[in-house]
């Protein structure tokens, strides 16, 4: 490993090394695919050749045999009509005519050649079947496919044909196939190479994005063409994943920044108060007030932590046995009752008309908290004179708890933001407006298989807690 990379310190970063290796190697990988494809193509071509060859041979031989048989039948007919003595003359004549390359031989019972172009009686011929034998003819040794007839009296007539013709066809076929094979091989190599190039380029664009991300360029995204092939699909998924990660990273950064901001303020005030209390020049009453003030600041810090851990708990999920059937109308009624005075004190009016009885499997304390937060939010932000309306309804697979106000509302573009941790639009940080209320409601809705939907109520804000009706109680 270290030997190959001359300039690098050995084994310092093995991941880097192997990464480099794999950067070069993949270009060769598709060759395996090409070899496989070519093997398949070659196999198909060879099989095709064998099939064509066999059937061509068969057709060719049948035709030759039928010619030989015709000759045999004709010569037998001559024998029958004109007698044995005339046969050699006819055989000789046919031989000289060289009819369709047929080979003739007429032998006396002792096996001596009387007519035809066979010089000697071939061994191994049968009167019942075609036999392939080597035979000496006037033109030299030939491969003979022939039948034999033994005439009464013992004379022997052989008619057959030279297999050389068949071999020629076979050779021609083979030659054709080899040529075709060469063309196919060359073509598939070329296509494979091109395909490899194209795939490599496409893969490179996706891999390049991942490498840029790994190198710290979080804005990198894969190029996706509208054609929508496999690589575009991978690219789209990659981009969607990157968007989600970026969202999470951003949210995390906002949380960290906001948390340090929100904690620094009360902690600084606390330190100042305690320093005041410790100062020898302070009197008893001043000390008491300083400590009391510090105590109040601690409460604020703790409430931020408490809210954050509530969100974390809801996001982590709760055990199944905590999900119990809950009457939502009753729960809303209780929360309206609890937060009613707060809303009235804010100069607003709370309306909770008769609600339908809907039961869902829910984590009751968390759900109360979520509804409470929506009401608290309305009391705090809707402004004087606003009307706060609570409603409940069943919508397909969801129960929807709606808290709508007719107050100042939220600008359309900000609706998505306010459910995030620490986002407050009026910049009024501190106090109970830590910007965590809606984040808790959102986490609670997600825990119940739903979501928190924030919409413009024209005027005002309309917050809908959607809870799945499909969750099963423990």
Partner 1 sequence: MSRRVLVVEDDASTAEFLAKGLRAEGFTVEQAADGRDALYMATKSDFDAIVIDRMLPGLDGLSAIRALRAAEVQTPILILSALGHLDERVRGLRSGGDDYLTKPFGFSELHARLENLMRRRGGSPAETELTAGDLSIDLLARKARRGGVPIDLLPREFKLLEYLMRNKDRVVTRVMLLEQVWDYRFDPHTSVIDTHVSRLRRKIDQGFEKPLLHTVRGAGYRLSEEA
Question: Would you tell me which residues interact with partner 1 (CB under 8 A)?
Answer: 292, 295, 302-303, 306-307, 309-310, 313, 318-319, 322, 334, 337-339, 341-342, 345, 363, 365-366, 368-369, 372-373, 376, 432, 434, 436-437
Residue entry with tokens 């799945």: 468
- The token duo for 305 is 């932590």
d(CA 46, CA 38): 12
Q: Quote the strand ranges of 32-139, DSSP E.
A: 102-107, 113-116, 131-137
Least CB distance from residue 292 to partner 1, whole Å? 6
459 preceded by a cis bond (ω within 30 of 0): yes
CB hemisphere CA count around 106 (13 angstroms)? 20
Nearer to partner 1, 158 or 270 (CB): 270
d(CA 177, CA 49): 7
Nearer to partner 1, 373 or 389 (CB): 373
d(CA 425, CA 250): 18
d(CA 395, CA 128): 92
Nearer to partner 1, 337 or 394 (CB): 337
Phi and psi torsions of 411, nearest 5°:
-55, 140
Least CB distance from residue 314 to partner 1, whole Å? 8
Least CB distance from residue 422 to partner 1, whole Å? 14
Nearer to partner 1, 92 or 342 (CB): 342
Least CB distance from residue 301 to partner 1, whole Å? 10
Beta bridge partners of 465: 401, 452
Least CB distance from residue 303 to partner 1, whole Å? 5
DSSP label at residue 118:
B
Nearer to partner 1, 346 or 358 (CB): 346
Least CB distance from residue 418 to partner 1, whole Å? 17
Nearer to partner 1, 286 or 337 (CB): 337
Least CB distance from residue 471 to partner 1, whole Å? 16
Least CB distance from residue 359 to partner 1, whole Å? 17
Under 8 Å between Cβ of 294 and 270: yes
- The token duo for 457 is 């109520």
Nearer to partner 1, 292 or 456 (CB): 292
- The token duo for 342 is 């707060």
Nearer to partner 1, 325 or 341 (CB): 341
Nearer to partner 1, 292 or 397 (CB): 292
Least CB distance from residue 230 to partner 1, whole Å? 45
Instruction: With residue 269 as reference, give the H or E element that holds it.
Output: helix 230-278
Q: Helix, strand or coil for residue 326?
A: strand
Instruction: With residue 465 as reference, give the H or E element that holds it.
Output: strand 461-468
Nearer to partner 1, 121 or 452 (CB): 452
d(CA 344, CA 446): 30
d(CA 466, CA 461): 16
Least CB distance from residue 305 to partner 1, whole Å? 9
d(CA 308, CA 252): 12
The 10 Å Cβ neighbour count of residue 273 is: 20
């Amino acid at each position: 490993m270290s030997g190959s990379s001359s300039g690098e310190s050995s084994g310092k970063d093995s991941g880097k090394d192997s990464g480099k290796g794999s950067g070069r190697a993949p270009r060769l990988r598709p060759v395996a695919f090409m070899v496989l494809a070519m093997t398949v193509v070659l196999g198909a071509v060879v099989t095709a050749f064998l099939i064509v060859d066999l059937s061509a041979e068969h057709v060719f031989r049948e035709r030759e045999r039928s010619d030989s048989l015709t000759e045999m039948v004709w010569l037998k007919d001559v024998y029958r009509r004109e007698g044995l003595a005339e046969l050699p003359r006819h055989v000789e004549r046919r031989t000289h005519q060289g009819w369709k390359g047929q080979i003739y031989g007429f032998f006396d019972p002792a096996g001596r050649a009387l007519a035809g172009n066979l010089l000697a009686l071939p061994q191994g011929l049968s009167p019942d079947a075609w036999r392939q034998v080597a035979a000496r003819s006037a033109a030299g040794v030939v491969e003979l496919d022939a039948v034999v007839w033994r005439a009464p009296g013992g004379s022997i007539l052989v008619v057959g044909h030279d297999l050389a013709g068949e071999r020629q066809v076979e050779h021609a076929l083979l030659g054709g196939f080899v040529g075709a094979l060469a063309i196919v091989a060359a073509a598939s190599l070329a296509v494979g190479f091109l395909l490899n190039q194209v795939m490599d380029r496409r893969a490179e664009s996706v891999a390049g994005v991942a490498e840029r991300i790994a190198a710290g360029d979080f804005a990198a995204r894969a190029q996706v063409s509208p054609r929508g092939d496999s690589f575009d699909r991978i690219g789209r998924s990659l981009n969607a994943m990157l968007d989600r990660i970026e969202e999470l990273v951003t949210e995390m950064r906002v949380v960290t920044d906001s948390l340090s901001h929100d904690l620094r303020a009360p902690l600084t005030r606390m330190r100042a108060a305690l320093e005041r209390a410790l100062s020898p020049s302070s009197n008893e009453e001043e000390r008491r007030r300083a400590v009391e003030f510090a105590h109040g600041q601690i409460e604020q810090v703790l409430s931020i932590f408490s809210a954050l851990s509530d969100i974390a708990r809801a996001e982590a999920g709760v055990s199944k046995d905590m999900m119990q059937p809950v009457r939502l109308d009753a729960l809303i009624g209780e929360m309206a009752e609890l937060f009613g005075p707060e809303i009235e004190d804010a100069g607003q009016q709370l309306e909770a008309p008769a609600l339908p009885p809907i039961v869902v499997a829910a984590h009751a304390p968390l759900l109360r908290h979520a509804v409470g937060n929506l009401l608290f939010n309305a009391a705090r932000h809707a402004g004087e004179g606003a009307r706060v309306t609570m409603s409940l309804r069943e919508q397909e697979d969801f129960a929807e708890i709606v808290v709508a106000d007719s107050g100042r509302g939220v600008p359309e573009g900000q609706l998505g933001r306010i459910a995030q941790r620490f986002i407050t639009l009026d910049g009024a940080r501190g106090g109970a407006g830590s910007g965590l209320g809606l984040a808790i409601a959102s986490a609670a809705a997600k825990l119940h298989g739903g979501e928190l939907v924030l919409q413009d109520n024209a005027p005002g804000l309309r917050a809908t807690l959607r809870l799945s009706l499909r969750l099963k109680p423990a």
